[in-house]
Every structure is written in structure tokens, then in C-alpha cells.
Amino acid sequence: MTESNAPKGLEGVIAAETVLSYVNGTEGILEYLGIPIDQLATKSTFEEVAFLLWHKRLPKAAELKDFTAQLRAHYTLPTPVKELLQNIPPKTAPMHVLRTAVSYLASFDETPDDISPEGLREKGMRLVCQMPAIVAYFDRARKKLPLVDPDPDLNIAGNILYMINGEAPDETMARALDVCLILHADHGLNASTFTSRVICSTMSSVYGAVTGGIAALHGQLHGGANERVMYMLREIGSADNVTKYLDEAMATKKKIMGFGHRVYKTLDPRATFLKAFAKDLADSTGNHDLYELSTMVEEVMTARVGSKGIYPNVDFYSATTYKSIGIEIDMFTPMFAISRVTGWVGHILEQNEANRIMRPRAAYIGPHNAPYVPFDER
Ligand code: ACO
């Protein structure tokens, strides 16, 4: 007898309660603490969104000023971590580098296992400020370029561009990246957030939970899709190849990257926002053709599988956006991670408020009383 009625991929299972983000997959709504995502993307900043997710309310002006100053005091990476980044083989994918270096950061924290709310927020600050430095230092180290230290006068988005490019960031590009960071910050119980909550439910450290979150985000069915969208667009190459490419791919049951979502069965509101946002950015940076190609892919996909509820997700137009900002393809998912760490830390704080270890069961479907067969009889 078995008890195997487990929903595949935990579909529809409610595994936690949250007030951080509301995801309505039929109407295409995303809110952080009840505030619609497009309001935040047009009016807020990534720093303010981090405060919102960690304190569950918008800061007053003086609080945001103080919070921002505290963040900037955490920009500097411990020297041994910087050295590690210069010694990692240059061909390593930046997401592997990020995971390794975040785990190593625990060694330079006097209280890595402090999971008090104050301790978690302080570690959250370290992480959201030092993950950009990790990614940027590695990118320059692998290209044998001199490393560029963070500038405490810049916000997180501006600093990312400054440390990667080694020159003062263009304001429009820095704001565009800031908007991307806002849009990716939290999204209900997605795979990486669930991973982080499971890890912290054992009372493990935030470093462990975030390292696990990064590993989960890396996969191509989750955050890793944004990089694959760009490889796919390159492979498609031109407008006259779109239909042929997509039809052939779908005939072989290949997943089209940047499309489909477990929760959204209509347009992902982040994709709706990014589509409009990416247009101007692409036009002004010479990426008009890439944008046009993306809209054609969306058109053909909508005609083929829109009726099945398959539409662009956040990763689809974020690829064009990152490309227009000048981010390298294998740095797209790290940008996502730099943003999502605010959500992971928010969920870790929330999980710890009323923690119980996450311990579901598996329905055993194997044999019983199986004989232990000696080697010579196997
Ligand atoms: N391309 C083509 N067909 C698709 C796609 C896609 N991208 N996504 C789903 N489908 C089809 C499936 O083939 C399946 O069809 P069938 O019923 O005829 O067999 C049906 O839609 C349901 O798909 P599932 O894979 O069961 O959906 P699930 O909820 O398990 O997966 C996921 C969701 C992983 C996002 C999936 O849509 C996918 O692989 N998309 C591509 C990768 C991607 O863009 N991931 C990023 C998601 S957003 C994020 O994590 C930030």
C-alpha cells in the first residue's frame, strides 16, 4: 500500500505564511507588503525595498538615510575573500563563484550563527553589499583587469556598474539596474526562497541559507533562465528564423527559456513592466534589433501556447534589459541573486519569528523485506 498522492513539484502546497509578497497568478499581480510592484519600480529604490522587506514597512526619510549609511559601511569585502576571487579559475561560472564566496564570508563574521532579528539584518546588510563586490571583483580578475574598490558615495546599483566597468556609472544605466533590483527582490515561495527557509528552519546560519538560495537560483528552470534567454535569442539570430526555431524546439518538447511559470498563468507583471522599460533602454543603447526579436518571440509563443497559460516571465525581458545596461551574459543570474538576497533575508527573518523545522515526508513506494543478496549472487 502506498500513500503517494504528493503533488509533483509541491504544486499548490502552502508551506509557509508570508506578508512580504503577494503573487496572484491569475490576475498577474505582485505586491511587496501590499504595494504594487510597478509603484515600487517607478517610485522607490533598491535600498528602500530592502528596508521594506526587512522591517515590513516603508522607512521614514531619516530612517532611510541612516539605513543607507549603514549599508555603505558594509561595502568593503574582507581581503582574504578578495584574494580568493583572484585565485578562482577564470572559467568558473560567476554563480559558482558567488556561492563559494558567500559561504566563505561566514569566516569573517565574529558571530556568523547569530540569528536574532538584529543579527540577521546586520548580516543581510553585509550580504547585499558584498555580493556585488564579489561578482565585480571576480569579473575583473578573470579579465586580468585591476580590481576597483566600491565607492561609498554610490548606491548599490551604481556601485555594481562602477566596480565592473571601472568608470563613473551612467545615471540612466544605474537607475535601470536599480529598477531591475527592485523587481527581482521578492516573489513568494519560489524555489530559492523556499530553500533558504528550509535551511534556516533548522536554526542554521544566514550564510548557509543564502548559500543554498544561490544554488537553487542558479538552475535554468529558475533564475538561470535569464542567461539562457540571451543564448536562445542569439541562436535564433534574426526575425525570419523565429517561427522555425520555436516550432522545432517545441516539437521536441524543449522548454523555451523565459516563458512559463508555476504560479502565473497570465502575464508576469514584472515582465509587463520590463517589456516597456526595456524598449527605451534598448533603443538608446543600440539594442533595438534585440528588443524587436524578443517581441517577435513573445508574439509567436503567445499564438502557440498562450492558451495554455504560458507567457513571458521576469527572465525574458530582463535579459534584454541587462544586455542594454551592458552586463555580460553570465553575470545576469548574479544580478538576480544580488537582488533576491533581500527577499531571502526577509523570509529568514519571517521564518524565525514563528519557526518550526520544515520536515515533510516522502511517500515510500519501494519494496519491503527485500533480501540482502551476497555479492556473488547479484
Ligand atoms: N516552453 C514550452 N513549453 C512550456 C514551457 C516553456 N517555457 N513552460 C511550460 N511549458 C509547458 C510544458 O511543456 C507542459 O506542457 P504539457 O502539459 O503539454 O506537458 C506545461 O506547459 C506545464 O509545464 P510544467 O513544466 O509542468 O510547468 P512547471 O510549473 O512545472 O514549470 C517552469 C514552471 C519551470 C517555469 C517552466 O515553465 C519552465 O521550464 N520555463 C522555462 C524556464 C524559465 O523561464 N524559468 C524561469 C521561471 S521564473 C523564475 O524562476 C524567476
pLDDT above 70 for 108: yes
Residue with cell 533558504: 196
* Cβ-based burial of 250 (10 A; exposed 0-12, middle 13-18, buried ≥19): middle
The CATH superfamily label for domain 225-324 reads: Cytochrome P450-Terp, domain 2 (1.10.230.10)
0.95 exceeded by pTM: yes
| 249 in contact with ligand 1, CB cutoff 6 A | no
Residue 3 has pLDDT above 70, yes or no: no
Mutation pick for ligand 1 pocket among 247, 310, 316, 318 (CB with most ligand atoms within 8 Å)? 310
Q: Which atom of ligand 1 is nearest to the CA of 184?
A: 51
| 76 Cα–ligand 1 center, Å | 39
For the chain, give the percent of residues with pLDDT over 70: 99
Q: Determine the distance separating the centroid of ligand 1 and the alpha carbon of 163, expressed in angstroms.
A: 35
List the alpha helices (DSSP H) in 184-252. Answer: 191-200, 206-218, 225-236, 242-251
Please check the confidence at residue 2 and state whether its pLDDT lies above 80.
no
Instruction: Dump pLDDT digits (tens) for 80-94.
Output: 999 999 999 999 999
Residue nearest to atom 10 of ligand 1 (CA): 260
Please say whether the dihedral angle defined by the alpha carbons of residues 13, 24, 317 and 165, taken in this order, is positive or negative.
negative
CA distance 81 to 73: 17
E strands within 80-174?
none
Are residues 292 and 239 in contact, defined by beta-carbon separation less than 8 angstroms? yes
- Tens of pLDDT, residues 11-26: 999 999 999 999 999 9
**CA distances from residue 350 to 32, 46, 53, 183, 278 in whole angstroms, order as listed:** 14, 20, 10, 20, 33
Ligand 1 contact via 188 beta carbon (within 6 Å): no
> Does ligand 1 lie within 6 Å of residue 301's CB atom?
no
Q: Decide: residue 46, CB within 10 A, 0-12 exposed, 13-18 middle, 19+ buried.
A: buried
Q: What digits encode the pLDDT tens for the residues 293-349? A: 999 999 999 999 999 999 999 999 999 999 999 999 999 999 999 999 999 999 999
Q: Measured from the CB, is residue 309 less than 6 Å from ligand 1? A: no
Closest ligand 1 atom, CA of 222? 50
- For residue 212 and ligand 1, the question of a CB distance below 6 A is answered with no
What distance in angstroms lies between residue 189's CA and the mean position of ligand 1's atoms?
17
CB 271, CB 312: distance < 8 Å: yes
Mean pLDDT of 260-264: 96
Residue nearest to atom 39 of ligand 1 (CA): 221
Measured distance CA(284)–CA(202) in Å, rounded: 49
Quickly state the pLDDT bin for 4 (edges 50, 70, 90).
Answer: low
For the chain, the domains span: 21-220+330-353, 225-324
184-212 pLDDT, tens digit per residue, is 999 999 999 999 999 999 999 999 999 99
Give 127-176 pLDDT, tens digit per residue.
999 999 999 999 999 999 999 999 999 999 999 999 999 999 999 999 99
Residue 70 confidence (pLDDT) above 90: yes
Structural contact between residues 213 and 192, judged by C-beta atoms closer than 8 angstroms: yes
Ligand 1, closest atom to CA 309?
Answer: 21
pLDDT of 52-66, one tens digit each?
999 999 999 999 999
Name the residues annotated as catalytic: 222, 261, 315
CA distances from 244 to 225, 299, 312 (A): 21, 13, 19
| Residue 233 half-sphere exposure toward CB, CA atoms < 13 A | 26
Residue 5 pLDDT: 80
Task: Say if ligand 1 is within 6 A of residue 257 CB.
Answer: yes
- Nearest alpha carbon, ligand 1 atom 26: 262
Rounded to the nearest 5°, which phi and psi values hold at 258? 90, 5
The model's confidence at residue 1, banded by pLDDT at 50, 70 and 90, is: very low
CA angle 117, 203, 22 (to 5 degrees): 60
What is the whole-number distance in angstroms between the Cα of residue 373 and the centre of ligand 1? 42
Rounded to the nearest angstrom, the distance between the alpha carbon of 376 and the centre of ligand 1 is 46
Of all protein residues, whose CA lies closest to atom 32 belonging to ligand 1?
A: 261
Q: What pLDDT is recorded for position 6?
A: 84
How distant is the alpha carbon of residue 282 from its chain centre?
A: 22
Q: Report d(CA 136, CA 307) in Å as an integer.
A: 41
- Dihedral sign, CA of 11, 12, 17, 18? positive
Instruction: State in Å: Cα 251 to ligand 1 middle.
Output: 15
Return mean pLDDT, the chain: 97
For residue 260, the CA-to-ligand 1 centroid distance in Å is: 5
Residue type, 321: T
225-324 shares the fold of 21-220+330-353:
no
Could you please state the CATH topology (level 3) that the domain comprising 21-220+330-353 is classified under.
Citrate Synthase; domain 1 (1.10.580)
Q: What percent of the chain has pLDDT over 90?
A: 98
